[in-house]
Amino acid sequence: MHDDRRIVEQRLDRVLAERLRPAQYADAVPCDVAVWHAPGEPVPAAEALRADYTPTAVGQAWGPAWGTSWFRLSATVPEHWDGRTVEVVVDLGFDDDRPGFQCEGLAYTADGTPIKGLHPRNTHLPVGRNSAGRTRSWYVEAAANPIILGPHGFQPTELGTKPTTKTPPLYHLRRAELAVLDEPVWQLIQDTEVLDQLMRQLPVDSPRRHDILRALERMLDRLDLHDISATAPAARTELADTLAKPAHPSAHVISAVGHAHIDSAWLWPLRETVRKVARTVANVTALMAEHPDFHFAMSQAQQLDWIKQHHRQLFDRVRTFVHTGQFVPVGGMWVEADTNMPGGEAMARQFVHGKRFYLEEFGIETREVWLPDSFGYSAALPQLVALSGSRWFLTQKISWNQTNRFPHHTFWWEGIDGTRVFTHFPPADTYNSEITGAELAHAARNFAEHGYATRSLLPFGHGDGGGGPTREMLARAYRTADLEGSPRVQLDTPAEFFTAAEADHSGPAVWSGELYLEMHRGTYTSQAKTKQGNRRSEHLLREAELWCATATIATGRDYPHQALDRLWKQVLLHQFHDILPGSSIAWVHREAEAAYARIATEAEAITSRALHALAGEPARPLTFNAAPHARHGIPALGAAAASDTTAPTATRHPDGTITLDNGLLRVTIDQRGLLTSIYDHAADREALGAPGNLLQLHADHPNAWDAWDLDAFYRHHVHDLTDVEEVSIHEHTVRIRRGFGHSSVVQHISLAAESRRVDIDTDIDWHETEKLLKVAFPLDVHADRCAAETQFGHVMRPTHTNTSWDAAKFEICAHRFLHVGEPGYGHALVNDATYGHDVTRHTRPDGGTTTTVRLSLLRAPRFPDPDTDHGHHRLRYALIAGADIGDAVREGYRINLPERTISGSRPVTPLLAVDNPAVVVEAVKLADDRSGDLVVRLYESRGGRAQARLSISFPATSVTRTDLLERALAEPDATTDALDVRLRPFEIRTLRFARPPR
């Protein structure tokens, strides 16, 4: 036979596009349209429905950027439409390719009841079959969200700022009519698309492909293109047998789970996300009413809390469908957070607040941790997942790796402490599936566990900007449930999938350590003020909880449960994976800065009140130490008079060099303001292998994803900032001033008293564009790996590039410290707000090894915020010479938890003391249930087994080991004033001390 395959396929393409799809709506009548343009920010529906509407028409422009227009659509259903499926069809001016990234709408009835959302792939509103002769009105809240990431890629735009004036209209109303849905035509479209998509994924020499081709050709022959409505039923019969052929017995099984990954902020502000969530929830609950077998998984408790606050009717619908099992809360976290940069306690609180919301609102104990789109996954997560009461983990972002293909899709993920969690990566490599033939075929072909397992999960629904599943997606799911040539698709819940997958897999592999994303490495640095606000907020809340708990137990004052809960939720919200990473529009980050300022003001006030209650009447300086290690004679977690220290000497020499000396270190600063020597007196060795504190400027032009990515070729060119305008001594501090480009920097270098710590306080007025600023410390140690702090421990990473996996980690994340060393001697770099680092090494002419640690201080990408980080920054970091891991841990806390000195009359005894410095107290607080019990979270910090004695200074009747939600994991033990604990490496332990009633 002659090969006419391409001709038939081209014929099908044209008929689908030009005839079939436009024919799904038969009769139509226009709606009468009126509009009210909201004058500023969005308003509640009740207010908008009372507004004065002005007549308008299809074709009229509307919507300045970020504006809101309310359209009132009115129409009378013709009598002869009785018994037919009638819908309102609305086109707000959609670009068909970008659902969730442009104008959107939420439709309401005249009494203010939400109906469903509108976007380019979901343009209809249900009217019903028995509405003939009735005049109806509908209201559409239309959001004029600009397209930030457009068809031309990552172009700078001013549309990402909060509007201060009206911009020209962005959209035109294109369609507003009452129409009859021709259901046979609609069904024919679904039949045709499923078979067409499947056919094009099959091999050209596959009999099944040709079977489908001929069936589609017969369908086309039966279809009268001038009378599609009348001939659609007959055309469908030509496809029936082909659609009825069952899947192969060994076909891959796909659990399709409805989902809408909604970024809590990204190319839109937080306030717009509240509306995106409402549109999506309205859509999916409307689908649930029609499809009892449809399940929708929604993560991010924050988003459901927004629905509870702003849309009570929608929240009631959610509650109804949660109870039917169709609406499935998942995730167990407050938001889908970044997991690289949040601190240990903040990461724990993500689970605490997320899981508690689901428990309190729905009685649901979530078991799935659902993080499809975060930018890499901390090795501390498995233990936190387990301690939260969850058992499964899902993501797909690692499929974005630039260099190495991740080898597993279903596996055990092992954390730094040895905890394992059952993990799945959907092999379709998307969390926004539309259940297309291409996606299903890719999932089956790509699945790494063939021969060991037979099933995978597919999250389907429009996401990022929201929208969720559509009726067309469900139609594809039903048709591929048992279809020859296709994987078997079944509508499941996440728990049904994971339970089946655990039973199905004959021997899951184990992946140990972090899930490092070989992409988006610039997110450790972009938007420095957001990152600084996060770090500062985490430590302010630690202090507030510690001192308030201490004051409550010591003085009986009330503990501010409500205020602390609210502040924590604000911090957790801003850890969302496009806010903390610095990858949102300017509007988001300016609001984040303002939010962090408010958090700091309130947390400082809470702490101040507690400190003054503890200190008593003013008498003498009293210093409070919130850090978990004693310093300057002040106990950890307590207060006392600080001991006197001897200041270092500062000397300028005739050649212009300056030395600082404190008896432990001698630091030399040359005429360029560089550290040329850090000599360790006790070890009799030099710390530096080349001049340190060297600021280096790189051109920063990633191939894509500007705020997200650092591409390795940025290292091909570097400019060392050695020109100096001032090197001077001010008391015991060296001041260095430089100018470069359009920016300037002032640094203050000091040597801490009685310490091997060199402090560097850096003020930068930054006005560069597409530049990356780093600071380098070439250290004279032979280190084949570095230790980077993560939540409740540290992760080891190679400093060499033996493999492509090693080479891909050319930019890494660390929290408060990064340590490099050789046996017996090492160095630590600590910081107060910097996360991005790189570590390299080379051999010197003398045969020694220089291991260079660099901190990434600032970036200046143009998209999505063209003014990223322009302005003033203060960054603090320090080098600790001759440091081991314990020193790194201690100094990391020190720089982030400065002492507080006020006037008081009585020292403060810590609520508890730990006799082993390897065991670190991370949190001290009162129990969330307001029982008055004290909760202490601690962990082993050095990566080894630890035994410690905890001494308590308050009366307690028992102590109970709990999970993160402060629920008992074991029976209570009677306690005295001391408790012995044994911890495995990096183990987290939460202890609840019951206190006698007052």
Residues labelled catalytic? 373
Whole-angstrom Cα distance, residue 527 to residue 772? 12
Query: DSSP code of 627?
Result: S
Q: Which residues of 769-791 are buried (b: 16+ CB within 10 A; e: fewer)?
A: eebbbbbbbbbbbbbebbbbbbb
> Please, are residues 95 and 102 in contact by the beta-carbon 8 Å criterion?
yes
- State the virtual CA torsion across 702, 706, 708, 712 in degrees, nearest 10: 10
Angle at alpha carbon of residue 573, lines to 571 and 576, rounded to 5°: 115
Whole-angstrom Cα distance, residue 181 to residue 160? 38
Kindly state the tokens that stand for 446: 């790509």
Write the single-letter amino acid at 6.
R
Q: Which residues are within 8 A (CB) of 164 and not within 5 positions of it... i.e. 6 or more apart?
A: none
Query: DSSP code of 577?
Result: T
The neighbouring-strand residues paired with 901 are 623
> Please, are residues 393 and 422 in contact by the beta-carbon 8 Å criterion?
yes
Query: DSSP code of 19?
Result: I
Omega prior to 864 cis, within 30 of 0: yes
Whole-angstrom Cα distance, residue 274 to residue 310? 8
> Please, are residues 750 and 878 in contact by the beta-carbon 8 Å criterion?
no
Q: Which of 140, 139, 126, 27 lies closest to 94 in space, CA to CA?
A: 140
Whole-angstrom Cα distance, residue 749 to residue 850? 23
Q: Which of 515, 539, 483, 571 lies closest to 393 in space, CA to CA?
A: 515
Q: Which of 879, 298, 354 lies closest to 573 in space, CA to CA?
A: 354
Whole-angstrom Cα distance, residue 944 to residue 941? 8
Q: Which residues are within 8 A (CB) of 452 and not within 5 positions of it... i.e. 6 or more apart?
A: 505, 506, 507, 508
**What is the three-class DSSP state of 554?**
helix
Tell me the helices (H) and strands (E) count for the chain, helix number first.
18, 53
Whole-angstrom Cα distance, residue 914 to residue 638? 12
Whole-angstrom Cα distance, residue 385 to residue 555? 36
**What burial class does residue 97 get, using C-beta atoms within 10 Å of its C-beta: 0-12 exposed, 13-18 middle, 19+ buried?**
exposed
Q: For strand 410-414 and strand 509-512, is the pairing parallel, antiparallel, or unpaired?
A: parallel
Residue 574's Cβ-side half-sphere holds a number of Cα atoms within 13 Å equal to: 29
Kindly state the tokens that stand for 818: 């990064």
Whole-angstrom Cα distance, residue 278 to residue 451? 43
Q: How far is CA 396 from the centre of its chain?
A: 13
Whole-angstrom Cα distance, residue 329 to residue 979? 39
Q: Which residues are within 8 A (CB) of 488 and not within 5 positions of it... i.e. 6 or more apart?
A: 247, 251, 252, 253, 254, 480, 481, 482
Residue 133's Cβ-side half-sphere holds a number of Cα atoms within 13 Å equal to: 4
φ, ψ of residue 442 to 5 degrees: the values are -65, -40
Asked whether the CA dihedral 399, 405, 408, 412 is positive or negative, the reply is negative
> Please, are residues 475 and 236 in contact by the beta-carbon 8 Å criterion?
no
> Please, are residues 827 and 881 in contact by the beta-carbon 8 Å criterion?
yes
Q: Which of 487, 488, 483 lies closest to 245 in space, CA to CA?
A: 483
